[in-house]
Chain A
């Protein structure tokens, strides 16, 4: 159950067939106070790299891209009700969507924790 990362600062964690997706702690700190999230309806199919959600802070808005292809199983109602949860717990309770992956092999192309940390140092 390792966490992997994209260059756009999404994280993804696989449990069985279903992966949980969110934005990294670095991403939430760059955005500032999150004020709104827009999540997809369950059943929506997305390709890797396609927009799956939107996150807004006071002064910025950003798309959240799917790190891997699959079908949306669930959106996190808790961050819709309390967007600040994304700031408080970006990589735990502040997750965005659960995705039933269509090709788990796509995860191999993503960064692991160490690689992501090294990547952040280059920014």
Chain B
């Protein structure tokens, strides 16, 4: 077996050194009858056989590379530069662990410091942590953090918040019976959350652009939160938007949570992704997750360490700010490398292309009979209303070899008012030909 290093002779010698009669002597503490069960599983296989099995499964899926592709709703198809995937597969990044021994982990620590800086910069915030599991879990952790800071319990959730984020927050809050108010679904993009904030409100969670694509100025909401002593948590599911759009920090957000997948991380059917988490410096000791900080070594040279660990579970145990241990290190590295390649000019251009193409497609679709573009202001994704159920339309488009978007009913099952709503995302990967094909196919199926 190719991954195992001991020969039969080795095993015999080692058992001799130990003074054990056989391997099962080492398992003597296992209750009688529980050792060596029969397992109905196949025997070991070579690389070739395993590759064949996976290729067969892969072939049963429709790859976005093969068809015009317009899905978003929290996960976006972007081009990843070749050097990103090459660099993250370097042994020293791929096969190292959490940097517990900083003297031999400066590589990981330095990129985490760079990641924290990049995330702070693009969100317009003062500090960021070394990543969370994904955007939705970041949002849930942000609510807990707001509760700790305000010593209040209620969370107000926007009707434009991605339902997966809303449900992740709600599930966690339900564990301790904490109140949360989910505002009515906000397809029109004109909800006024200020009226829902009261003296018990710890935080308001709002997404920008929201799940239907609406881009809104949140500064008024930030002021309303501040007036009542609540924190404003802004979720961003499409992080490339911040190349072009005013960042949440500039609108007065107290905590910014985001899905970083769009930069450097493949779609991979929903994970692993990388949760971004940024806030104000004064709240840093209430943050969840790992933090990397600058310091010096014994010889006075600059170096990096994990810091403020007394917040974390391995020291604080039941009083920790979060139970998180593993973060999303390698995805954070991919993000950092891709962001470094883009730089200021590249990120701005990338965002302009995304927005420009989305505007082009919106204009094309808005000329079609029975189709209306929902948001006035948007980035690279927008909801449209159709004259018939969007889920059926999507299935018909699949028959025409087009992945045409996400029906809102997939995210809001049972909400009849959204049955005819389709979410369409456009990125730099979409060609004009793709857009023409989508428009033509829609015309046929509507």
Judged by CB atoms under 8 Å, the answer to whether A and B touch is yes
Q: Which residues of A contact B (CB under 8 A)?
A: 35-36, 38, 56-61
* Pairwise interchain contact B285-A59, C-beta atoms closer than 8 A: no
What residues of B have a CB within 8 angstroms of the CB of A59 in the complex?
A: 309-310, 315
Q: From B319, which residue of chain A is reached at the shortest CB distance? A: A61
> Interface residue count for B (Cβ, 8 Å)?
6
Distance of A12 Cα from B310 Cα, bound (Å):
26
B285, B309, B310, B319: which has the most chain A beta carbons within 10 Å?
B310
User: Interface of B with A (CB < 8 Å)?
Assistant: 285, 309-310, 315-316, 319
Q: A61 — which chain B residues lie within 8 A by C-beta?
A: 310, 315-316, 319
Which residues of chain B are near A35, meaning CB under 8 Å? 310
Q: How far is it, in angstroms, between the C-alpha of A59 and the C-alpha of B305 when the chains are bound? A: 13
The chain B residue sitting closest to A51, CB to CB, is B319
Besides the known contacts A38-B285, A60-B315, A61-B319, 14 further A-B residue pairs in the complex with CB atoms under 8 A apart: A35-B310, A36-B285, A36-B310, A56-B310, A57-B310, A58-B309, A58-B310, A59-B309, A59-B310, A59-B315, A60-B310, A61-B310, A61-B315, A61-B316
For residue A23, give the distance in angstroms from its CB to the closest CB of chain B.
15
Q: How many cross-chain pairs have Cβ atoms below 8 Å apart between A and B?
A: 17
Say whether chain A's binding surface is mostly helix, strand, loop, or mixed: strand
| A57 cross-chain contacts in B, Cβ below 8 A | 310
B309: A residues at CB distance < 8 A: 58-59
A/B interface sample: 16 pairs, CB < 8 A: A36-B285, A36-B310, A38-B285, A56-B310, A57-B310, A58-B309, A58-B310, A59-B309, A59-B310, A59-B315, A60-B310, A60-B315, A61-B310, A61-B315, A61-B316, A61-B319
Residue of B nearest to A38 (CB): B285
- Closest A residue to B285 using CB positions: A36
A36 to B315: give the CA distance in the assembly, Å.
15
Least Cβ distance of B238 to chain A in Å? 36
Contacting residues, chain A, for B315 (C-beta < 8 A): 59-61
| Smallest beta-carbon distance A52→chain B, Å | 15
> How far is the CB of B50 from the nearest CB of chain A, in Å?
44
Complex Cα–Cα for A61 and B319 (A)? 10
Complex: A61 Cα to B285 Cα, angstroms: 12
Give the complex CA separation of A58 and B310 in angstroms: 7
Question: Cα distance A61–B308 when bound, in Å?
Answer: 10
Interchain nearest-CB distance for B319 vs A (Å): 8
CB closest chain-A residue, reference B314: A59
Q: Which residues of A contact B319 (CB under 8 A)?
A: 61
CB contacts (< 8 Å) of A38 on chain B: these are: 285
Please name all residues of chain B whose beta carbon is closer than 8 Å to the beta carbon of A60 when the two chains form the complex.
Answer: 310, 315
A35 CA to B285 CA in the complex, in Å? Answer: 12
Which chain B residue has the least Cβ–Cβ distance from A63?
Answer: B319
Q: Which residues of chain A have C-beta atoms less than 8 A from B285's C-beta? A: 36, 38
CB of A44 to closest CB in B, whole Å: 12
Query: A residues within 8 A CB of B310?
Result: 35-36, 56-61
Q: A36 — which chain B residues lie within 8 A by C-beta?
A: 285, 310
**Alpha-carbon separation in the docked complex, A5 to B76 (Å):** 61
